[in-house]
Amino acid sequence: MEALHTIWTVAKREWRSYFDSPVAYVFLVIFLGLAGFFTFSVSQFYEAGRADLRGFFVWHPWLYLVLVPAVAMRLWAEERRSGTLELLLTLPVTPLQAILGKFLAAWGFIILALALTFPMPATALYLGRPDAGVICSGYLGSVLLAGAYLALGMMTSALTRNQVVSFILAVVGGLFLILAGFPPVTDLLVRWAPAWLVESVAAFSFMTHFESLQRGILDLRDFFYFFSVMAFMIFCTQAVLQSRAAK
């Protein structure tokens, strides 16, 4: 219970820090603006003639590719740059507790941004009778996708004190995990690689698992994948911070 209290304390501290500066509000405005633009303008929501959110969810991997690293890049890089990382690690807080607290606060912030897109499903429900189960599954997949991106960005933030470098590393890593299962890439691999290799590469992609949830398919393998990515990245972040503390 004490460990959970410590994690909660770190999470509350981190959550408050978002809204103590204009960064949180800028992120929310940009995310909601881009989500609306891609859904209604690029995907032509009204012209499509169907009341579903396919055109909304299909852009989430690409939105998160840029916006989530922007949230994650400050998690540890700022602590290292300002010299507060050493102070934090001398407090009665283990690296894992600090990591989980920061991660939960940042994930909660992104979930808040996602929750503010409620006009999208409200519009679809007003215009027709979309499958509510598919919409809920899509939102659940988006939450898990955001968590995986965030965990990756948190690890890159721990690697460097420069936020720009952390951002670039997270974008490159996220792009690799998208393209591994992107149809143009898999179609190219099929031409010279055996099917089992193509399927193995695609299995590591965010796209493969997110698309299943986006279609309303709840497969335990997809949940296992996203939580495994988060757990692995958190483990790597802990290893990096412990190596810094040992120096």
**What are the extents of the domains in the chain?**
2-246
Q: State what percent of residues in the chain have pLDDT above 90.
A: 34
Contact call for residues 89 and 170 (beta carbons, < 8 A): no
- The dihedral through the CA atoms of 155, 62, 74, 10 has a sign that is negative
68 close to 230: Cβ distance less than 8 angstroms: no
Tell me the per-residue pLDDT of 227-243, one tens digit each, with 9 for 90 and over.
Answer: 999 999 999 999 988 87
The tokens 């960005």 sit on which residue?
153
Q: How confident is the model at residue 87 (pLDDT cuts 50, 70, 90)?
A: low
Whole-number Cα distances in Å, 39 to 130, 175, 191: 16, 21, 34
pLDDT at 240: 87
Q: 146-174 pLDDT, tens per residue?
A: 999 999 999 998 888 888 898 999 999 99
Q: Is the pLDDT of residue 197 over 80?
A: no
Cα of 35 vs its chain's centroid, Å:
15
Residue where the block lists tokens 């994690």: 7
Q: Is the pLDDT of residue 121 over 80?
A: yes
